[in-house]
Structure formats: C-alpha cells, structure tokens
Chain A
Amino acid sequence: MEKMKLVMIGNGMAGARTLEELLKLAPDLYEIEVFGAEPYANYNRILLSQVLSGEQSIGGIMLNDVEWYAGKGITLHLNRQVSAINRARRTVQTSDGKTAGYDRLIIATGSTPIVLPVPGSDLEGVVAFRSIRDVDTMLEASVKFKSAVVIGGGLLGLEAASGLLSRGMDVTVVHLAEWLMERQLDRAAAGLLQESLEAKGLKFLLGKQTVELLPAEIPPSPPLHPQGVRRGVPDASGITLSQSKGGAITVAGATISSLKKRGAIAVADATIPPLKKGGTRGDLRVGAIRFKDGETLPADLVVMAAGIRPSAALAEAAGIHCNRGIVVNDTMQTYDPRIYAVGECVSHRGVSYGLVAPLFEQAKVCANHLAQIGISRYSGSATSTKLKVTGIDLFSCGDFTGGKGAEEIVLSDPSAGVYKKLVVKEDKIVGSVLYGDTADGSWYFQLLRDGQNIRELRDRLMSGQSHLGSSGHQGRNNASSMPDDMEVCGCNGVCKGTIVKAIKEKGLFTLNDVRKHTKASASCGSCTGLVEQILASTVGGAYQPADVSRKPLCGCTDYTHEEIRKAIIERKLKSIPEAMGFFEWRNVNGCASCRPALNYYLLCAWPHDYRDDPQSRFINERAHANIQKDGTYSVIPRIHGGVTTPAQLRRIADVAEKYAIREVRCTGGQRINMLGVKKEDLPKVWSDLDMPSGFAYGKSIRTVKTCVGSEWCRFGVQDSTSLGIALEQSLDRMWAPHKVKLAVSGCPRNCAEATIKDVGIVGVESGWEIYVAGNGGIKAEVSQFLVKVKSAEEVMEYAGAFIQLYREEARYLDRTVHWVQRAGMDYVKARIVEDAAGRRALHERLTDALRDEKDPWQERVRGMEAREFVPIRLQS
C-alpha cells in the first residue's frame, strides 16, 4: 500500500517534536517531507541564551541533526521557505519554486519577533533574538563594538542583556513598563531582580518609550565639506547629509569607501555593507537610540526583544481561519481537516503559547491524531517561567495579581535577597512568584496544576517542601548555588555537573529523561526536588514537571493506576495476562515496574481467587527473604510487638550456630535479623526456627513497635504492648501497596515513635489517639491526627479500616503519606471517622482478605516452590 504524504512547514521545536512523537506511534504510516527556512536542522532554541553567554556552543544545542532525518527516511529541505499553500491542489510551494503535494499538512512556523515600527529599525546592527543567525550577529558585534541596548525587559530581553554583558559589552535594558518582567513578576520581586542584575553590571531605563533609532554618527562636516558635499542636498554621487538638532550628522546614500575618501574616520567598514541599488538608511549602522522624552543613548547594537507574534500569514493567505494565530481545535486541527498546526503559530481556545512545555503537549496530541489513534485531546496548559541567568533564581507561575477573592501570602526578606509570594483563591494556589529561593517552585506549580486543596498544607506552604527534612544530599536544597562537583543523588553518586551536562548535550526536558540518562533520582527519589530545580534552571520554562495527576502505571501503558484498578474490578480481570490484554499493553510481558503492581492490584481485588504470580514479584518477595549485596539472604522472624521469649531466643541461637550465620543483630523494628544465609538453606533455617515470617522483605505489614506501657512503666497509662501485639496479629501476612509500619506507645512520651509511622497509636488517660500517614524514612513526615477513641477494640477497627482504604486506593509503591497527601486528610476522615458503616465495611473486607493467607515460610518448608531454592548441579 502506498504511504500517505505528510508535509511539514517549519522545522522548529514544536514541529520536530511532533514528528518524533508520530514516529513513535506510527513509524510507517507516512512519507514525510519537511521545509525549514533556517539553514540548520532542529535545534534547542531555548539554549540560544546560553550560546550567547558562552555557556554553550551551537554544536551543543542540536536536538535532531540532519542524520536523524535521514535515518528516519524524512526528506528535509533546509534554507527553503514555503511561500504558499494551495489547499485545492493540496500542495505547498517554496519561494525558490519547488512544490510538494500532501495528504496531511502540519504548519509549525513558530512566531516572528515584533520589530518596533520606529524610524531606523532597519539599520544595520538592529537585531531580534530568535535564531542562530541573530546570535551570530550579536556575537560579531560584541567583538567589534562597545555599547548595546536591549529593548524589552521581559524574559528574552534580560537573557539577551546578560549574555551580551558576559561578552564584555556595556548593556542597557530599555523597558516601556514601570518594572521588569511585568507580565510574570510583581513589583517587589522585579525590584529585587533589578538590583541583582545591576550588581552584575547591567543598566536599566524603565518607563522609556523608544521613538527612533539613529545611524552611527559620522564625524562633523568639515572633513566632508571640502569634498563638496552640501547639507541636505545630494552631491554628484548621490550622498545626502543632514544634521539633527543635537548636532549629529547623518548620511544617506553613501558607500563606506566613498565616505572614507571624504575623510570620515569613525566608520567600521566591515560591518556596513556597500550600498545596494536603491539603498536606504538600512545600509548604515545604528549608532544611538532616541526616546520620547528626547533623551538619546549611544547604541552600536540594538536588540529588539519587545515580544513575538504568531507566524500565521502563510496560513491566512491560504484561507485558513486565523485569529492572531492559526485557530485549532482540541485535536490541533485547523479549519481545514487535512491541515494541523502546532507551536507558537497556533491559537488554541484563544491562547498562543510562547514556552515549549505546552507546545510539546500540543505535539503529542497532534501526533496521536496524525497516527490515527485519535484518543487524546489538548485542553490548554498552565505555564511557569524561569529566568535562565546564571546566579539568579526566579520563578513564577499562574496569576500573581490575584484579583477578587484572592489572598496573598508573602514572605519578604530583602536583606537575604528572598521574596516569595503565593496567591491563594478558595484554598487553591492560583499563582506564585519566587525570587532568591525557588526550591519550591515546582512544588507550587504542581499544586496549582493539580488544583489541590491546600488548606491543610497552609502552615507549611511557605517553609516549603524542601524544609520537611530529606536525607542523602547534605541537607542542600538550592540547586543554583551548588557547585558542579557536589553530589545530588546520593544513591547513584551523580553530581550536579553530570546532570547539567546531560541536560544540555542530550536535550532533556523532563525528570524522566534525566532519570533515564543519568540515573539521578531514579532510586530513592529523595533528590527529585533538586533534580527538578537543576532541570528548571537549565532549560527554563521549557521544564515540564511530571504530571502526577495523570500518572501512567509505567512505560508499557498510558492508563493510570486508578483506571487500571477500576477496570480490574469492573471487568472482573483476574490475571496479569487478562489485565494486560484488556489495556493493550505495549510490551507482551510488561516490565519489572508494572508486573509487581498488577500482581498486587489483582491480589487486593480478588483475595481468594487470584493466583499469586511469583515471577511478577521482586526477588525478596519471591524468596521471602531479603537479598543482600553478596547474593545471600537475611532472615527476620516475626516477633509480635517486639516481645520475645527465652525459648524463641534459644531457637534463634541454635539456628545461628547450626548454619554458621555470619551476623545476628537487632533491627530497627524491634526484632532479630540473621544475615548471610545461602538461598538453598532458607527452607531449612525456617524449618528449624519454627517461627512465622516477619515479612521484613515485603510490600506488606512490617512491624508494630511497642513500648513497655502500663504493665511496667511508671508513666504508662495504657497497655501498649498488648494492643500492639493484637494489632500485629490481626494484620499478619497482609500485602499492601508498600510497607506498612505501626507503633503503639503507652503514653504521650511516645517511646515507640508512633508519630512517624503509617499508623501510630498513643495512649492517653482517657483512651487512645490515632495518628496516620507518618514516615520515618527518606523524607521524615510527622503523622497527622485522625481521631481519639476509648477502647482497644475501636483502635483495631479504625486502624484496620484506614489500612484497608490505603490498600484499595493507593498507587503501588505509595507509602500512606504519599497517598494521603494526594487524597487529603478531609477525605480520609470522611471515610474513616464520619462514616461508621463504611468504616466497619472496610475493616470487614480487610479481615476477610486475610482469612486464608498462610505463612509463606511454613508453606515452603512443606515443599512449595521448591525449585526456587535449589540450584541445578552438573555432574561433570
């Protein structure tokens, strides 16, 4: 069958991303032809700022080089501008006369910088900041000239200015508004920003309107005059001189050499091209800028960074409906169904985006429809901004002006150079501006995008997520001030420099990309925030925070944990192959991430019918022991509530001697660990121990720590030991999304550390306080108060119900804290505290699910899964 023809106009970031996404979905559907007006293949436009400042080279910012296109069988035309689209014939035509036919067309022409319509804007040395060519022009000028003026104090303007400054130019930023970045920052933050940029050496003229750009001054008339040129009157060779009120003389109609002959000295000839036929003042170099108030300022280079406009003229000329941008629907289709548009040239629901994160989302949706899958929609994006100037931390997202019904939470510490503002409306974050300390920017942005209710977080919002204690990177939580050789990821030994390098060289935009390429934050995840900050400060607003509100189970599917759990129950899916079949898993056997998750979801949904799949469990759960670095295993028997007996201790001692166990130690969970057991010996060790498995290896019930309590302790007001043992017995052999730890303390001194446990119980005179969702591990989280009850029986019911709710609703590998953060304490209270019938039902489901679980060690002692433990020995 003949392939359909796909033509793309514009080969920038959005267009090329669309092709990448399309080829992932449907590599063979189209024959693809691409027209790009620039002489380069696809490059990372965002990093032009770093190229300008010298932190990056042109070669280093290529995203898809010419070979990539060739390798994918795509015909790529560089340096070819499409000048017309013929929709009736379904062809496009280039300005050099080439035509190409299409079945589907993508318009990805980006946008055009706005050039102020003032006299002199066509002078040599007036540039925009958009393409490699512009950067080349600026770099050239920075070598030859001294003074630069940047018009526009927005994101782009400031990046250009600081780049030119680091190239040794004397730079002034001219801005029409009263303060910098007025669309992203409020006045206070902008003030701090301006101060630190001034400290670096930039100058600012605010509230200034540019009215004219003046050509370079030619030395006063005398040296010219003798050659017979009279002011205002063209001489024999067509040269006109004029003199402004300020005394500056401008020249029109001259060539450099002709002026030189006449004695002009201050002209840099190499940069002023010879006069073309019908030449204008544009052949002369800019020399100064004049403002509405009459003031002038010398300028050898003028960078126009006064905004951009969607490049929609081509589409408009072809009769495609445009309204500023090319109007598209939620599937990125224009009014002509064969024609799609993505990127900055687009107007979607009235919005044109100028940052890549939303454009990449558009690309994904567009590709999905071009691939004829047709299930995804683009519904607009919230955007965030990050200024990419080294040493400056600035973040803003959403609507920071607030408006009616909004309240502001502001923290301002000018001496420390820190300013933070959160705008909250109806308990939700609607905007944020951070200066100086942007560590929590991505957290706020995530809360904003998720529309999360922040009522309970309120007290902690300002101190931020990064203050909640996380271990493994020396407590550092500010990426930009970290030196390159400082370790960010303690698990995989990855330094900041390595991450930055990978982001720049490999063109990474997402946390997942960084994880894949560097392993940073791929293990325990405690450095995720730092890695996100490094990403944000390297790629600016292009950074795409992981969308946790819609998290596919893993790379094998696009469906979320929640969707899959729901379907397992509703569709009565009862095995891993059935579930994968139903959701059309991309990989036949799934992978090491999704199989254990599915196994748990099925087990939780069908506790009595589902046949556990050992091959979909991590080795620890398959072998019912923890694998150690040398391939041996550890054995931790269950010691309910931490209370043991001489008989148990004697057996443990005997086993340790019999099997020459290398180390016997007390664990942090109040029990005893025997380390260094050979896998083959495990069933024998378990048999001799004759104790139940402690499940120290599982996403399961772990321990219930207790303190001595009222039986012995002079302060004890409740019998914490008995309650702890009863709780642990009632939860024996329970699998869960992640490990579950409990503790019971006999009084508020809380020796069992109940307030950092998944469920913590604290005895008080009149009963028991129940706390939930604490965690003492990677990121310490103090648990939250759930309810106070009178009796031990009530504790069993409330705790059991809470744990069952967690088992039924959390995502695999969520600890209780992660799940409660998403679901909200209000929700948990509504289900556990306020709904008595619901609570009892949950508790009953838990008891029922556990009723026929057997002790895995004793089952294996009796011969179950025997092969797992025995190696094959060859005779010879």
Chain B
Amino acid sequence: MSEWMRICPLEEIPRLGSRVVQTVKGEIALFRNGSDEVFALRDQCPHKGGPLSQGIVFERKVTCPLHGWTIQLDSGEAVEPDHGCTHRYRTRVDKGEIYLNLA
C-alpha cells in the first residue's frame, strides 16, 4: 500500500508561505519556499509549541511566530543557538501536485 497521499496543487500554497493540513497525525504545516520546494513539519515549534505554519518563510527556514526561533524546514531542527527538533514528514511534488507521506 502506498503511503503517499495527494494533498493539493502546488499553487494552493502561497510562495514563501504555508498551509495547515489536518491529518490523523494531527496538524501538519506544509511549506512552499522561494524555489518552490515543499516541506512538511508537525505544526508545533520545539520551543513552546507555537504554530510554525504561521511563521515567516525564507530559504529553507521558518521563523516561529511566537518567540522567533528559526526552524530548518528540511530537518525540523532549530537553528543555533536554539536547540530542539520538530517532526519532519516527507513530501514530493509531481506534475504540480503535492504529495505527503505520513510514515
């Protein structure tokens, strides 16, 4: 059984922005960066659980809206000097459609 789920067309997410996906595994933030790469993180900042989906996206990073930690989109790791990690999910873009793998 394939674990890849089709989510939405790429254009549904604003460039340098994000959408929240409600899944069986809770809320997942789906990000699209300036080069149209797509990343998925659990929508909870490792600091105090802030919704990362609401942050400002740049390069492969997002800055949390609550206290300004920066989280690496491709690993879920907080950028120095902060420490912490949020769960990262796999994504791929195929013919303009975004797929998410919750495994």
Contact = CB atoms under 8 A, between A and B. Distances in A.
A667 interface: no
B58 A627 contact: no
A314 to B, nearest CB: 40
Contacts, number: 87
A519 B81 contact: yes
A622 B14 CA distance: 12
Contacts of A519: 81
Contact of B50 (A516, A614, A631, A871): A631
B93 interface: no
A592 B16 contact: no
B34 A591 contact: no
A590 to B, nearest CB: 6
Nearest to B6: A874
Interface string A514-541: 0011110011000000000000000000
A867 B16 contact: no
Interface string B4-47: 01011000101111011111100100100110000000000000
A587 B21 contact: no
Contact of A871 (B15, B17, B21, B49): B21
Given A873-B22, A874-B23, A588 B51 contact: no
A589 B58 contact: yes
B45 to A, nearest CB: 10
A874 B5 contact: yes
A417 B55 CA distance: 50
B16 to A, nearest CB: 4
A618 interface: yes
B54 A627 contact: yes
Given A627-B54, A871-B19, A589 B14 contact: no
A416 interface: no
B59 interface: yes
Contact of A867 (B12, B33, B54): B12
A517 B81 contact: yes
A721 interface: no
B95 interface: no
Contacts of A627: 51, 54, 65-66
B78 interface: no
B22 A871 contact: yes
B1 to A, nearest CB: 12
B70 interface: yes
Contacts of A614: 14, 17
Given A591-B63, A627-B66, A874-B21, A619 B58 contact: no
B65 A618 contact: yes
B56 to A, nearest CB: 4
A596 B5 CA distance: 34
Contacts of A872: 7-8, 12, 19-22, 30
B84 interface: no
A522 B22 CA distance: 34
A510 interface: no
A596 B50 CA distance: 20
A591 B65 contact: no
Interface residues of B, number: 37
B56 A592 contact: yes
A590 B58 contact: yes
Contact of B16 (A615, A618, A871, A873): A615
Contacts of A404: none
B65 A619 contact: yes
Contacts of A873: 21-22
Nearest to A870: B19
A672 to B, nearest CB: 24
Nearest to A620: B65
A619 B55 contact: yes
A595 B56 contact: yes
Contacts of B59: 587-589
A623 interface: yes
A699 to B, nearest CB: 14
A526 B54 CA distance: 27
Contacts of A629: 48, 50, 66
A591 B61 CA distance: 9
B40 to A, nearest CB: 11
B38 to A, nearest CB: 13
A385 interface: no
Interface in A480-525: 516-519, 522-523
Contacts of B57: 589, 615
Interface in B67-103: 67-68, 70, 80-81
A871 B27 contact: yes
A631 B67 CA distance: 13
A432 interface: no
A396 interface: no
A616 interface: yes
A417 B15 CA distance: 61
Interface in A595-609: 595-596
Looking at A517, A519, A595, A615, the one whose CB has the most chain B CB atoms below 10 A away is A615
A754 to B, nearest CB: 33
Contacts of B8: 872
Contacts of B67: 523
Nearest to B8: A872
Nearest to B82: A519
A857 to B, nearest CB: 18
A588 B34 contact: yes
A589 B20 contact: no
Nearest to A617: B56
A627 B48 CA distance: 14
Which of A517, A522, A867 has the most B CB atoms < 10 Å from its CB? A867
A595 B34 CA distance: 13
B55 A592 contact: yes
Contacts of A587: 58-59
B87 to A, nearest CB: 17
A589 B33 contact: yes
Nearest to A502: B81
Contacts of B15: 615
A259 B33 CA distance: 82
A590 B12 CA distance: 23
A519 B83 CA distance: 12
A518 B20 contact: no
A871 B20 contact: yes
A523 B66 CA distance: 11
A333 B14 CA distance: 50
B70 to A, nearest CB: 7
Contacts of B24: 874, 876
Contacts of B48: 629
Contacts of A874: 5, 7, 21-24
Of the candidates A517, A519, A629, A631, the one having the most CB atoms from chain B within 10 angstroms of its own CB is A631
A221 B18 CA distance: 92
B58 A592 contact: yes
A522 B69 CA distance: 11
B56 A615 contact: yes
B14 A615 contact: yes
Interface in A629-681: 629, 631
Contacts of B23: 874
A615 B55 CA distance: 9
A623 B55 CA distance: 11
25 contacts: A588-B59, A589-B16, A589-B59, A591-B56, A592-B56, A595-B56, A615-B57, A618-B56, A618-B65, A619-B65, A622-B54, A629-B48, A629-B50, A629-B66, A867-B14, A867-B19, A871-B27, A872-B19, A872-B21, A872-B22, A874-B5, A874-B7, A874-B21, A874-B24, A876-B24
Interface of B: 5, 7-8, 12, 14-17, 19-24, 27, 30, 33-34, 48-51, 54-59, 61, 63, 65-68, 70, 80-81
Given A615-B57, A874-B24, 16 more contacts: A518-B81, A587-B58, A588-B59, A589-B16, A589-B33, A589-B34, A590-B58, A591-B56, A591-B58, A595-B56, A614-B17, A629-B48, A629-B66, A871-B27, A872-B30, A874-B22
